[in-house]
Amino acid sequence: MTKRIECIENTRRCVVKIGSALLTRDGSGLDTEAMSSWVEQIAAIRKSGIEVVLVSSGSVAEGISRMGWERRPTSLYKLQAAAAIGQAGLIQAYQSFFEKHGLQTAQVLLTHDDLSNRRRYLNARSTLKTLLSLRTIPIVNENDTVSFDEIRFGDNDTLGALVGNLVDAELLIILTDQQGLYDSDPRQNEQAQFIHDDDAMNAKLLAFAGDAGTDVGTGGMRTKVMAAQRAARSGCATIIASGREENVLGRIMNKEALGTFLHAGREPLVARKQWIANQLKPQGQLLIDQGAEKALNEAGRSLLPVGVVKVTGDFERGDVVECTSLQGAILAKGLVNYSSAECVIIKGLSSRAIRDVLGYVDEEEIIHRDNLVIL
CATH code at position 162: 3.40.1160.10
Residues 303-322: what's their mean pLDDT? 92
Helix crossing, 76-99 with 32-47: angle to 10°?
Answer: 60
Question: Which residues make Cβ contacts (< 8 Å) with residue 49, sequence separation at least 6?
Answer: 12
Strands 308-313 and 284-288: antiparallel
Q: Is residue 144 marked as binding?
A: yes
User: Which pLDDT tens digit goes with each residue over 93-114?
Assistant: 999 999 999 999 999 988 877 8
Angstrom distance (rounded) from CA 225 to CA 209: 7
Q: Is residue 176 marked as binding?
A: yes
Stretch among 8-12, 72-76, 270-274 having the lowest mean pLDDT:
270-274
56: phi then psi, degrees, rounded to nearest 5: -120, 125
Q: Is residue 177 marked as binding?
A: yes
Angstrom distance (rounded) from CA 356 to CA 260: 55
User: Which pLDDT tens digit goes with each residue over 42-81?
Assistant: 999 999 999 999 999 888 888 888 888 888 888 878 888 8
Q: Is residue 57 marked as binding?
A: yes
Q: Is residue 17 marked as binding?
A: yes
**Is pLDDT of 117 > 50?**
yes
**Is pLDDT of 138 > 90?**
yes
Looking at the structure, tell me whether residues 246 and 306 fall in a common domain.
Answer: no
Q: Is residue 219 marked as binding?
A: yes
Q: Is residue 218 marked as binding?
A: yes
**Is pLDDT of 152 > 80?**
no
CATH code at position 302: 2.30.130.10
pTM for this prediction: 0.78
Print the domain residue range for 54.
3-273
Q: Are 29 and 65 in contact (CB under 8 A)?
A: yes
Looking at the structure, tell me whether residues 288 and 264 fall in a common domain.
Answer: no
The confidence score (pLDDT) of residue 26 equals: 66
Looking at the structure, tell me whether residues 231 and 343 fall in a common domain.
Answer: no
Angstrom distance (rounded) from CA 213 to CA 46: 32
Of 253, 273, 293, which one is at a domain's C-terminal end? 273
Looking at the structure, tell me whether residues 192 and 329 fall in a common domain.
Answer: no
Q: Is residue 234 marked as binding?
A: no
Of 273, 300, 318, which one is at a domain's C-terminal end? 273
The torsion of the CA quartet 6, 11, 15, 18, rounded to 10 degrees, works out to 50
The confidence score (pLDDT) of residue 198 equals: 93
Q: Is 239 helix (H, G, I), strand (E, B) or coil?
A: strand
Of 228, 244, 273, which one is at a domain's C-terminal end? 273
